[in-house]
Structures are given as structure tokens and as C-alpha cells.
Structure 1
Amino acid sequence: MNWISPRTLKRLGMLNMNKRNVDYIARYNERSSYPLVDNKLKTKLAVAEYGVKTPKLLQTVRHQHQISGFRDMARDLAGFAIKPAKGSGGKGITVITGRDGDSFVKASGTREGAPVLERHLTNILAGLYSLAGAPDVAIVESLVESDPSLARYSHQGVPDIRIVVFQGYPVMAMLRLATTASDGKANLHQGAVGVGLDIGTGKSLNAVQFNRPITLHPDTGLALGNINIDAWGEMLEMASRCYEATGLGYMGVDLVVDANEGPLLLELNARPGLAIQMANGRGLLPRLRAVEGLKRLHFTPRERADYAMETLSQL
């Protein structure tokens, strides 16, 4: 953001990291809720009780001896994803998109045998990808088949939608698109494209890569100014439901749109980054303060989603 002056940042209501940490994360997030969102398996089980769908759980590997069942489980599967339950930033996630004889084809096109994937499961259990290297659990989920209308914009990776939710209100959203630079992952720090989304309509606003504005995807060459997310109200309501499921007052909700299942929750983040403001071209503070200023909070996820679409989109 070195092309925008500090005065402009203040005028846009940009939330900085110190203020986010002190005034929102520390104030509104109970420490007791962190283990719930820092563990993908616990997240899946918790949100299911509130009607939030996630990719189907195929296998849970808690102990080394359970790895022997992996080959039988995966024998007839064309695709799946292996994830560390406590991994962060996409570390340790292996996505299989097809088969070539006895080999598994990764999203990048490389082929791996079953022994390689079994060693990966061992590494996950040993805590190679978890915070502080703590022992972990490996989960195997069904492969997300991205909706073609969104998949076309991404390069070798599933596009996802990050929604910042405050006190149960979806306040800002962006679409994240994988690139060659990001190695097929929807990680903005690694070079993925962030496309700001109008919280009222789900239509694209602006796009950035490495915090610099762009108009075309660097790999697909497609224009990023006319993207429209279907079932937008449903996605906002789903994100809002995660507030009841976790009790976290300030969080990032990461969703994907599956071609067959519709919107699915990928994961939750109790410390969502601030790049979403760059993608939207506006700051979080006016919307956060609007929610803080409400004299009576809305009771249902649907009401909160409607309020966000009708009111917060104007801020």
C-alpha cells in the first residue's frame, strides 16, 4: 500500500494490526475458544450442529497404526485432500485431483505413490505442520470440485471466499484466487489474487496482488471486474452462523463454492489478516464501529446477514 498516503488510509477507515489485536481480537475473542478454530477437526464437528456444511470427512488418523488403513480408504477415490488438523496458512495440505494407475495426481500435476502420502500422514502426526510442533491429527476430506463459474478465474487451485465476521455480522469479504506465484494456493502473502466483494451483492469491486492493484488475473488473463458470487445471502448467513458455533466475536470465515454441494466451510481463523481491506479499497473500521454502535443486536444469522447487505455495504 505504499502508493496510498497515511492521510488517505485514515480517511478510508483502515484498521491497523495493533488496533486489530487490542481492540478487536483481544477484546472480543475468548482465549478458551481458540482451540476450537485452530483445530480443523474440532471446527467441523462444532459448526455441523449449527447447519454449516463442510467437505465430507473420509478418514481421521490419530495414531501411527491407523495409517495402514489409508490405502483401502483411498482405493476407489479419484480425489481427496489430506490436512493437518492444527495446520495454519495452508501448510501441510495435500490435494489429490486424480489417479494414474497406482499413482495419485496432485493439483500441480505431479504424481505420488501411496508410500509418499503415508509418510506425509506420519509427518502430520509428528507435528511437522502444527503450531509449536505439537503432535497433530490428520484428516482426509472429500475433494472440493469448485463451481466452474469461479474455477475459471483461478490457476491450479480452488478459489475461496474470506468473510470477516464481527459479533456475528459479516462485515467485509473477498475472493482469493490462486496463481503460479502462490503455487496454486489461495494465500495472498504468497502471491494469490485478492478480489474485494461488495458485501451487499457479492459482486467484485477491486483486485490486488502483492498489495498492488490489478485488473486481469496474471495467469488466466481474465478480467476481474465483473465477477458475481451466486447465493450470496446464503453464504453470508452461513458465515454468521459460525458466531453461534464458536462464540468468537472477531474471526475470518473461509468458504468455497462446490459444484455439487454449494457453499462449504473450509476453516475459521481467529486472527484474520488485514489484506482484505486492500482488496476492497476501503477500511474495516467504519463497519466495525457501526456494529459496535447498535443499540440492539440482531438475534438470528439471517437478520445479521440482511443488515450487512442493506447497511454495511454503504460504509
Structure 2
Amino acid sequence: MLSRYRSLRDAGVLGLNRRNGDYILKFNPRRLYPLVDDKLQTKRLALQAGIAVPELYGVIETQHDIRRLPEIVRDRPEFALKPSHGSAGDGIVVVAGRSAGRYRTISGALLDDEFLSHHLSNAINGQFSLGGVPDVVIVEYMVRFSALFERISFQGVPDVRVIVFRGFPVMSMVRLPTRGSHGKANLHQGAVGAGIDIANGVTLDGVLGTQVVTHHPDTSNAIAGLQIPDWDTILDISARSYELTGLGYIGVDIVLDRDLGPLVLELNARPGLAIQIANRQGLLRRLQLCEQRADFSASPAQRIEFAKREFSHPVGPIMEPAEMTVDAA
């Protein structure tokens, strides 16, 4: 076991304890957490900074407000409902159309007003929020994912996660929904994670659990070699998120809308470590390289150039997913 931990350390794998102590605790002041834990506050911050986000249609803040939903979405056949303090996609309902007076979700399920009212009531009461605290629900634009992803995604909206350290994009992946993940872009629920070369925005092979996959399990199309469009814009948004929040270690989640381009979904002050498995490389090596060589007074454009130059894939040994653990100290 000791030799295995040495191997992981030598490969630069960042473990949970070290992530928490050396990066989150050190670079993410607790007083700034509300800026990212509250999706509504994040959306308003991004808009002030000129960063594109899904359009806000309305906010359901109280039980009394629930009756306003039909009015808010009267001219919006498609929309998304999101608990402002939700996590891992819990409580999100995406409506893709109407049928016989009911709401049709992206999976084809039909929901009536009574179901949505009950769902909104539970969300406001905190059923889906971090810590079970009372919440509000955002009513917003339904992202129409880029046709680029139709061949390697099942139903849901893929998203791009970028880990940003003190303004430097250090590692990225795209999360691809599957039938097993019920259309959610969540690796722990069965989505495919595919690393992205920071230097050029081209996808690598995917990982499903602890297995390397070269093709999407539902569509059978190849995952690697896909050029992510607007890659420079994605990196620019990610780098600027440091100035936006003041948080030094964050995950930036971005979707590619087929009409609007890159949109920020949310920011995360405690991004998970599975991105290392998706890239089959350790994150610690890149973080340490930043600390040793980076100019933290550089502009966002200069930080992006540094990332492209230093983190072109690969920058370290390629490991098999089964060899990696993200829970080690």
C-alpha cells in the first residue's frame, strides 16, 4: 500500500486531504463562498462582469411565488428550474416543450402543474440545497447544447469543467451524459469524463468509472479528437473567474449553447478530483508548476498563454484509471 501511495505521489496525483488543506483552505476565504454557493448571486456577478450566462426568466422565492410560474414561463415553451443552492444537479427540472397542457421534460416525461408545484415547494424548503437550508428556485433559459456533442452524448447537456488556480486554467474535461447517468453530466452518476488538452481544446479518450473508453457507450461514436469550439473564449471566461470571485482554487462549469456559444453554468469552490481520472494525470504536478513558475500578477491573457505552453498534454505520466485514487492524503 505504501508503494502505491508513493507511485501516486510521484505521478503528481492530488488527494482529498491535500486539496482541502493546501489549496481550498489556503486560497478560498470562507467569506467568499456565498459568491459561488448561491447560483443566483453567481449569475448576477457574471452579468456585471460581462460574462455570458443562461438568461434569467424569474425567481421563485416563497411558497406564495409558486403560483407565478405559469406567468413567468407563459411565452417560454422551454425553460429550466434550478435550486439556487443545489449541488450535483439535484432538483433541476428541464422542460423542453408542452403537450396537452403539461410540461414535457428532455427525457419525454410529462409533468402537470401539481407536480411542478410540489417540486418547487420541496426545493424552497431546502430539500435539494447544501445543508438543507431554505432556498429559492431560478427559472432560466434552457440550454440547447451544440450539435458538436450530439454524437457523444445521451439526452442531457454536456459541460466543460476547468480547474482554475489563482487565475490559471490548469486542467479541463468535458462531462458527457449517458443513459446510465440519466442524462446528467455527473461522473459519479455514470457520465463519461474526457480530458481536454488545455493547449488546443481537443478531447482525449474518455473514462467511465475506472475504465478507459474510446467510444460513447450509448452512441458508439469516438470520443477523442473532438475540437471544442470557442476554446479560447472558454479559457478566457475561466481565467477571469478569479477576478470575479477572489477565490484561488475553483471549478468553472461552462456549457456550449448551439446559438449563444459558451455560457457559465456555475462556479464551484470545492471542485472534485475526478478530473484527474478523466485526464489520467495528476493535478498536483500542474499546481506546483504554477507555484514555481507563474507570474500571479499577469493578465488573464498572459495566464492563458502560460497554461497553453506549460500544460499541453501530456505534462506527466499517463496512468490507468484503476491505478488512481482521489481520496489519498
- Superposition TM-score, scaled by structure 1 size: 0.96
Question: 2:206·2:223 contact (CA, 8 Å) conserved in 1?
Answer: yes
1:9 Cα deviation after fit: 2.5
Q: How does 1:50-61 map to 2 (within 5 A)?
A: 50-61=49-60
1:52 Cα deviation after fit: 1.3
Which residue pairs with 1:79 in the alignment? 78
Which letter does structure 2 place at the counterpart of 1:203?
V
Q: Matched residues in 1 for 2:26 and 2:190: separation?
A: 31
Question: Given the alignment of the two structures, is residue 310 of structure 1 paired with residue 309 of structure 2, yes or no?
Answer: yes
Matched pairs, number: 313
Question: 1:15·1:274 contact (CA, 8 Å) conserved in 2?
Answer: yes
SS of 1:309's equivalent? Answer: helix
Q: Matched residues in 2 for 1:162 and 1:302: separation?
A: 19
Question: Given the alignment of the two structures, is residue 185 of structure 1 paired with residue 181 of structure 2, yes or no?
Answer: no
Q: Matched residues in 1 for 2:182 and 2:7: separation?
A: 33
Q: Matched residues in 1 for 2:114 and 2:73: separation?
A: 13
Which letter does structure 2 place at the counterpart of 1:177?
L
1:230 Cα deviation after fit: 1.1
Structure 1 segments of 4 or more deviating over 6 A? none
Q: Matched residues in 2 for 1:9 and 1:56: separation?
A: 43
Q: Matched residues in 2 for 1:78 and 1:293: separation?
A: 51
Q: Matched residues in 1 for 2:161 and 2:99: separation?
A: 33
Question: Given the alignment of the two structures, is residue 115 of structure 1 paired with residue 114 of structure 2, yes or no?
Answer: yes
1:49 Cα deviation after fit: 2.0
**Gap runs ≥5 in structure 1:** none
Question: 1:237·1:304 contact (CA, 8 Å) conserved in 2?
Answer: no
Which residue pairs with 1:297 in the alignment? 296
Q: Among the aligned pairs, what percent are the same residue?
A: 46
Question: 2:207·2:278 contact (CA, 8 Å) conserved in 1?
Answer: yes
1:200 Cα deviation after fit: 0.5
Question: 1:161·1:176 contact (CA, 8 Å) conserved in 2?
Answer: yes
Question: Given the alignment of the two structures, is residue 222 of structure 1 paired with residue 221 of structure 2, yes or no?
Answer: yes
SS of 1:32's equivalent? Answer: helix
Which residue pairs with 1:256 in the alignment? 255
Which residue pairs with 1:125 in the alignment? 124
Q: Matched residues in 2 for 1:104 and 1:8: separation?
A: 52
Q: Which is further off, 178-187 or 9-18?
A: 9-18
Q: Which is further off, 68-77 or 160-169?
A: 68-77
1:298 Cα deviation after fit: 4.2
Which residue pairs with 1:154 in the alignment? 153
Question: Given the alignment of the two structures, is residue 285 of structure 1 paired with residue 284 of structure 2, yes or no?
Answer: yes
1:92 Cα deviation after fit: 0.4
Q: Matched residues in 1 for 2:161 and 2:210: separation?
A: 16
Q: Matched residues in 2 for 1:45 and 1:113: separation?
A: 30
- Superposition TM-score, scaled by structure 2 size: 0.92
